[in-house]
Amino acid sequence: MLKKYIHLNAFEMNTVNHMAHGLWAHPEDQRIHYKTANYWIKLAQLLEKGCFDALFLADIGGVYEPYAGSYKAAVKRGMQSPINDPFINVGLMLGVTEHLGFAVSASTSYEDPFNLARRFSTLDHLSNGRVAWNVVTSALEAAALNHGHDAIIPHDKRYEIADEFLEVCYKLWEHSWEEDAVQANRAAHMYADPDKVHTIDHVGPYFKVRGPHACEPSTQRTPVIFQAGSSTTGKKFAAKHAEGVFIAGQEPDKLRQTVKSLRESALEQGREANDIKVFASLTIVVGHTHEEVQNKLKDYQQYFLPEASFIQFSGSTGIDLASLNDDELFGQRHSEGNQSTAQLYSHKTAYTVKNIKDELSKFGARTLLVLGTPEEVADQIEELVDYIDLDGFNVYQAITPATLEDVVELVIPELQKRGRYRTHYQDTSFRDRLFRQGDKLSPRHIVHKKYTEA
């Protein structure tokens, strides 16, 4: 049986402290320069050198503040605070790359569909079809308070809003401008045929948008749709909308069940199982010798800051670890925040709060972790892809940019030798790179079944 190519995205955030909690303080780490143009330009060029699929940019709409009842701990530790806008960085990096994709997180709970649709169309034009939208619903209460709400929007309602938000965007991207609307007829002074440009006249429970779309059709029209929720509601949403799904966790068996469920749900939606590409989180520690790997691991753990990990977990889930007794059972705690994060441990019924803290205190917690020489790391990556039924990984950094330099220089050449990773880019859109079926949404996607011209 022909083994599929492995897709790799670099998982990043426009902030000083992303997922390697506390390692920004490491003397070799360059994350403190995240607010400079040169930092992002070099990162994009490194990823393109390694033939990465994309730079995957996470984002949050507020400060992590449930931990100890305040945002002060997050600010003190630089726990994804301060954080800058990811969209502007993408525009910068497009100018220094030709092939690298960019997956940008944007919230359906607090963005405006008309303006967001225009922003993505603009990036898709500038990149010649290299952008994706990571659809998030915003799990932080602080984000709600920053956008005019008195409390976090309940979890399932956020997905109701997201569903309609995407409906509006699909109508704008796919149905407002006909494919041949743009004439660019200089002699007639007619840029576009007005009879081929349509309003969408959307009226729904959460949005009212007339249209037409502000932008002419771009290479992909709709950006590649990513989604990262693994709750029951999130998986249903992904089965309906997503082309790429990002899942987190450190247990291959549990991840395998999640992937199986996602692919089965896609079939129930009239799609094919492989219409969704699934990416797991991955941390790689690689070296030429076992001694080098162990020294790196020891070094990373020395700088790892458990409190920063507690702050993120508490902020994401809304469950304040600082307010709970260590000997208390963690259990099936209700969360209106990020249920995927809460579920990383809630199934472990015997786990106490101290057990959770002990897990979160380890470097590489909440993600698959592979260690070894290039050959050993490649072995483990292949095994994980084939066992879990993954399409690829979102690669976390320990030290920036040294971790990704190691991946590019040591791991990727080994995967290329085995025929599991591209040796060069083909001049294509992000969607066609993932599916090899053209630039536009699959004919099996919901956009072709439900959302029609107004």
pLDDT of residue 33: 97
CA separation for the pair 218, 173 (Å, rounded):
9
CA separation for the pair 74, 293 (Å, rounded):
30
CA separation for the pair 121, 214 (Å, rounded):
9
Q: Give the sign of the dihedral formed by CA 434, CA 435, CA 437, CA 442.
A: negative
Q: In 126-162, which positions are buried (b, 16+ CB within 10 angstroms) versus exposed (e)? A: ebbbbbbbbbbbbbbbbbbbeeeeeebbebeebbbbb
Long-range contact set of residues 67-75: C-beta below 8 Å, sequence gap at least 24: 67/310, 67/311, 67/314, 67/315, 67/320, 67/321, 67/322, 68/320, 68/322, 68/323, 69/320, 69/322, 69/323, 71/142, 73/307, 73/311, 74/311, 74/315
Residue identified by tokens 């994350």 is 31
CA separation for the pair 196, 185 (Å, rounded):
15
Q: Compute CA distances 104 → 14, 29, 63, 226, 428, whole Å.
A: 11, 24, 19, 9, 19
β-bridge partners, 280: 247, 393
Is the bond preceding 82 in cis, omega lying within 30 degrees of 0? yes
pLDDT of residue 342: 64
Residue partners of 95: CB distance under 8 A and separation at least 6: none
CA separation for the pair 323, 270 (Å, rounded):
46
Contact assessment for residue 311 and residue 74, using Cβ atoms and an 8 Å cutoff: yes
Q: Tally the residues of the chain.
A: 454
CA separation for the pair 397, 403 (Å, rounded):
5
pLDDT of residue 311: 92
* Cβ neighbours, 10 Å, residue 186: 8
* Cβ neighbours, 10 Å, residue 257: 12
Following DSSP, what letter does each residue of 144-159 receive, concatenated? HHHTT-SSPPPHHHHH
Question: Tens-digit pLDDT profile for the chain (454 aa)?
Answer: 568 899 999 999 999 999 999 999 999 999 999 999 999 999 999 999 999 999 999 999 999 988 888 999 999 999 999 999 999 999 999 999 999 999 999 999 999 999 999 999 999 999 999 999 999 998 888 888 899 999 889 989 999 999 999 999 999 999 999 999 999 999 999 999 999 999 999 999 999 999 999 999 999 999 999 998 777 888 899 999 999 999 999 999 999 999 999 999 999 999 999 999 999 999 999 999 999 999 999 999 999 999 999 999 898 888 899 999 999 888 777 666 565 676 667 677 788 999 989 999 999 888 999 999 999 999 999 999 999 999 999 999 999 999 999 999 999 999 999 999 999 999 899 999 999 999 999 999 999 887 654 4
Contact assessment for residue 260 and residue 247, using Cβ atoms and an 8 Å cutoff: no
Q: In 340-367, which positions are buried (b, 16+ CB within 10 angstroms) versus exposed (e)? A: bbbbbbbeeeebbbebbbebbbebbbbb
pLDDT of residue 349: 74
CA separation for the pair 54, 102 (Å, rounded):
5
Q: What is the pLDDT of residues 235-246, one digit of tens each?
A: 899 999 999 999
User: Pick from 272, 278, 260: which is nearest to 391 by CA?
Assistant: 278
CA separation for the pair 54, 333 (Å, rounded):
35
CA separation for the pair 286, 130 (Å, rounded):
29
Contact assessment for residue 58 and residue 89, using Cβ atoms and an 8 Å cutoff: no
Helix (H, G, I), strand (E, B) or coil at 394: strand
Which amino acid does the sequence have at 12? Answer: E
Q: What is the pLDDT of residues 177-201, one digit of tens each?
A: 999 999 999 999 999 999 999 999 9
Which amino acid does the sequence have at 370? Answer: V
Tokens coding 189 = 């002074």
pLDDT of residue 58: 95
| Strands 202-203 vs 131-136: parallel, antiparallel or unpaired | unpaired
Residue partners of 168: CB distance under 8 A and separation at least 6: 113, 114, 117, 200, 202, 204, 207, 209
